[in-house]
Structure 1
Amino acid sequence: MKKFLILVLFGLYLAPVQAQTKSYTLSLEQAIVLAQDSSYASVNARREMTRALKKKWESAATGLPQINGSVSYNNNIKQSVTLIPGEITGGAPGSFTPVVFGTEQNATAQATLEQLIFDGSYLVGLQAAKTFSDFSKNAYDKTQIEVEKSVVNAYGSALMAQALVSVFDNNYKTLNKSYEELAIVYANGLTELESLEQLEITLLEVKGYLDNAQRSQSLAFNLLRATLGLPLEAELNLTDDLSTLVLRASEEFDPEINVDLQKQIDVRIAENFTEQRRLEWLLERSRALPTFSAFLNYSTQAFNNDFTFTDNNQQWFQSSVLGVRMQVPIFSSGLRSARSSQAKIAWDQAKTEFTQTKQATQIAFENALSDFNLSKDNYSNAQRSVNLAERVAEKNQIKFDQGIASSFDLYQAQAQFYRAQQNYYTSLLALLNAKTVLETFINPPTF
């Protein structure tokens, strides 16, 4: 019975731990969708958009009716004394009589309604709030684009690491088999020790490649989990393979294709920034305009020497005031002019930066197109190189088995093949990333 209870308690302890480990089976497209929903950058970008909407309402609310209320209670522990001429109380001429005015305690309750009628800065603020909201939306779009790039790179890196582990594991098993066979040949005195040692060196190198690939695979999958916004202990199964992704990435683009600068996210953000600077200039200019506001105040007061303010028979005295205020800036010793000039300079700087951003975006597009074409060429060359290196390695293996080639010749052919394999997968990932970057220029995503 005691053992049964221990097993039950252990099962209850283990159940929530197991429940926390969730498995995800994802294609690249599914990984992108997941990351754009749950990655840390996307979550904070959505929060920033929500904050911008609240900021927009904050700006609008300052021009709407504002009602404030207050309640106060005063207890004059030691009341102030005032001197009045003594003749009033029947005293001698020229004398003064100390008197106390008012009661020891009083209470006041009041409410005030205020309404802005005209304020130039309020009107500018409404426009600025909308611009800030647009800026936050564009910043969110940029975040999602960067998240997509990060996911493609992390997903591709995980697949590449996975593939390299498989390749090096297969290489190690094949080479280890050759080493064991050669060891038997050496034991029978049919080969030199140098040949066996040379093969052992190659075997150790491949073992090092395999160990490094396994560590890289673990790191690559953790990086992918972090990019997706998942816990590091989550189980990941990737359904896409590198060959499929590369097939998509190898699609041709129209060599005469042009980019629409107005749709590019960096240009849109720079345009938002320029508009913000223009509105800041208008804001400084609007500070020279008068402001008008109205207010309505209602209050009630009670007085007594004792605390009787909660009694039903306590007498309360009401008062109410309706008024209009106008505030006119008259002279600021050049302060407003200096601020307006600074804002104008900042606006001019923003316009220059906007022009610069458009040029930089055009250059970035041309560079992305060049990188894509170069990556395609590199991938094609790497693919041919790995096929050639594999055939050379196979031929040298046959020659070595037949005693025609030396162990050094076999080592060189195999080392060349291993380098070609690594270059192949590196070029594959570079092509995938280059295609993603180019796609963001040609077909700017909207979210």
Structure 2
Amino acid sequence: MKFKPVILFVFVWVVGSSTLVHAQQVPFTLEESVAYALENNVEARNARLEIEAARGLVGERTAEGLPQINANLNATKNLVVPVTPFPAIIFDPEAPEGEFIGVQFSPEYTAGLTATVSQMIFNGSYFIGLKAAKTYRQLAEVDRKYTELEVIENVKKAYYSVLVSREREALVRANLSRIDTLLKETEILYEEGFAEKIDVTRIRVQHNNIQTELDKAETASRISLRLLKFQMGLPQDQEINLVDTILAMEALLDAERLLLEEGERRIEIDQINTNYELATLDLKNNQIQYMPRLDANFTYQRNSFGGNFPGLWSGEWFTGSVLGVTLQIPIFDGFTKKYKIQQNRVQLRQLEVQKESLLQNIVVEKYQARQNLVNSLKSLEVQRENRDLALEVYDMAKIKYQEGVGSNLEVVEADSALKEAETNYFSALYDAFIAKVDLEKALGILN
């Protein structure tokens, strides 16, 4: 009985420790978030599973060219043994002509053991199908890379969204703190007769409005964080801490270098090229269907007969075997292959048109993404200057009010302008990062 308190203490400590570990915040930089998402995002995981399925398809097509061996064991009982008519004169020379008697040729019980081996000797479709399976595996690899690019894009944008949402929340909190201080100072001045009731009411209205904005900002931060966890493939109950800040990452824009980048071949082109190769193989497969197919086969069998079931297995077994080849020559299929070939050629032309359209679209995307980044950077510079000016105006309005040469209305308006300028600055900074991601994607260098 004395060991129970010790056991209870250990149990509580273990449970508490595991809960604490789970509740701890896991730090994530932007690069770590992307790396985690590439391993745990649902779409990325499914893309890797598709590659495994493609490898299985290659193995399946390869196995079709190997010997196929099957064995069958059967036992039957003739409930009613069929009767075959025979002329009676065969068994009785004195029987009248035209008289027949029934003879049972089948035994009541039969058993058979059969083993067959078949080997494909020539089948043009087999080799084309094997190559098509390998090409399909290449397509799965290309699709995986495309999926990973989408995951990287979504995670980066979600990460930036969380950072900006938190900065906005911090701005509203700071604004609320300034207004709260101003409200207390004005209430004191009102009590001492140096301010009017309308001054207190005006600031209180502003205070209430900012409190509402803070609630909205907190909600936006939580939603953006949940979206980031979803894009990363992270459990929603896992607490995380984003190490980077939006201001610290501003130096990583590196826009001048990016605007001069020519880019690399887009993964979408590899997708179309691989699909074109698959369509070409499908065309060849339908064309080669006009050629004959040659297979070799061997059959070995053992049969037994008896009048009862136990005697069926203890009686004599009779052996037989067959070796042969089968040549299948296609003659007429109602023009089925002809129309399949026609569809294949149309599909190839469609893929050529898609590739031409994609190349033109990529040129447009690059130009548009570059212009968006340029405009975003210009807007960022303007909003940065506006923020600095708004802060300067607020400081002067506050000093004038404290010295008694300005009104609290000026302070309220300056504070509102400062909040708006700071919000616009971070919105412009977010837009610049999004434009950077879009340009990297258009250039084919997103990683």
> Scaled by the length of structure 2, what TM-score is found?
0.91
Matches for 1:73-84 after TM superposition, within 5 Å? 73-84=75-86
Counterpart amino acid of 1:349? Q
Q: How far is 1:445 from its partner?
A: 6.2
Q: How far is 1:403 from its partner?
A: 3.7
CA contact 2:175–2:415 (8 Å) conserved in 1: no
Aligned residue number for residue 238 of structure 1: 242
SS in 2 for 1:252: helix
2:259 corresponds to 1:221: no
Q: How far is 1:121 from its partner?
A: 2.0
Q: Deviations over 1:325-349 (max 9, x none)?
A: 1111112333221221121111111
Q: Deviations over 1:13-43 (max 9, x none)?
A: 7776666556421111111111001111111
Q: C-alpha separation between the residues in 1 aligned to 2:234 and 2:261?
A: 38
CA contact 2:165–2:220 (8 Å) conserved in 1: yes
CA contact 2:295–2:326 (8 Å) conserved in 1: yes
CA contact 1:107–1:309 (8 Å) conserved in 2: no
Q: Bigger CA drift: 40-49 or 404-413?
A: 404-413
Q: C-alpha separation between the residues in 2 aligned to 1:107 and 1:309?
A: 11
2:193 to 185, 189, 204: 189
Matches for 1:191-340 after TM superposition, within 5 Å? 191-253=195-257, 255-260=259-264, 263-308=265-310, 311=313, 313-340=314-341
Aligned residue number for residue 36 of structure 2: 34
Q: Bigger CA drift: 187-196 or 409-418?
A: 409-418
Q: C-alpha separation between the residues in 2 aligned to 1:337 and 1:189?
A: 99
CA contact 1:290–1:328 (8 Å) conserved in 2: yes
> Scaled by the length of structure 1, what TM-score is found?
0.91
Q: C-alpha separation between the residues in 2 aligned to 1:16 and 1:319?
A: 71
CA contact 2:304–2:312 (8 Å) conserved in 1: no
Instruction: Classify 1:444/1:85 alpha carbon distance in 2 versus 1 (closer, same or farther; 3 Å).
Output: farther
Instruction: Classify 1:404/1:296 alpha carbon distance in 2 versus 1 (closer, same or farther; 3 Å).
Output: farther
SS in 1 for 2:80: coil
Q: Deviations over 1:151-185 (max 9, x none)?
A: 11111111222222222212211210110111111
Q: How far is 1:8 from its partner?
A: 8.4
Q: C-alpha separation between the residues in 2 aligned to 1:254 and 1:8?
A: 57
Q: C-alpha separation between the residues in 1 aligned to 2:122 and 2:443?
A: 47
Aligned residue number for residue 368 of structure 2: 367
Q: C-alpha separation between the residues in 1 aligned to 2:372 and 2:443?
A: 14
2:150 corresponds to 1:156: no
SS in 1 for 2:309: coil
Aligned residue number for residue 434 of structure 1: 435
SS in 2 for 1:190: coil
Q: C-alpha separation between the residues in 2 aligned to 1:97 and 1:378?
A: 109
SS in 2 for 1:294: strand
Q: Deviations over 1:368-417 (max 9, x none)?
A: 22222222222222222212222222222222333433343333322222
SS in 1 for 2:247: helix
Q: C-alpha separation between the residues in 2 aligned to 1:18 and 1:231?
A: 16
CA contact 2:61–2:133 (8 Å) conserved in 1: yes
Q: Bigger CA drift: 57-66 or 33-42?
A: 57-66
Q: How far is 1:123 from its partner?
A: 2.2
Counterpart amino acid of 1:233? D
SS in 2 for 1:242: coil
SS in 1 for 2:209: helix
- CA RMSD, Structure 1 to Structure 2 (Å): 2.5
Q: Flag structure 1 segments of 5+ consecutive residues without an equivalent.
A: none
CA contact 1:270–1:357 (8 Å) conserved in 2: no
Counterpart amino acid of 1:268? D
Q: Deviations over 1:261-313 (max 9, x none)?
A: xx2111111111222222222222122221111112222222222223785x4
Q: How far is 1:111 from its partner?
A: 2.0
Q: Deviations over 1:185-233 (max 9, x none)?
A: 1122221222111111211121122111111111111111111111100
2:66 corresponds to 1:64: yes
Aligned residue number for residue 347 of structure 1: 348
1:135 to 130, 135, 139: 139
Counterpart amino acid of 2:236? L
SS in 1 for 2:228: helix
CA contact 2:437–2:446 (8 Å) conserved in 1: no
Q: How far is 1:149 from its partner?
A: 0.9
Q: C-alpha separation between the residues in 1 aligned to 2:391 and 2:73?
A: 89
Q: C-alpha separation between the residues in 2 aligned to 1:150 and 1:254?
A: 20
CA contact 2:266–2:443 (8 Å) conserved in 1: no
Q: Flag structure 2 segments of 5+ consecutive residues without an equivalent.
A: none
Count the aligned residue pairs.
Answer: 443
Q: C-alpha separation between the residues in 1 aligned to 2:38 and 2:398?
A: 49
Q: Bigger CA drift: 87-96 or 272-281?
A: 87-96
CA contact 1:274–1:354 (8 Å) conserved in 2: no
CA contact 1:67–1:114 (8 Å) conserved in 2: yes
Q: C-alpha separation between the residues in 1 aligned to 2:273 and 2:369?
A: 23
Matches for 1:394-413 after TM superposition, within 5 Å? 394-413=395-414
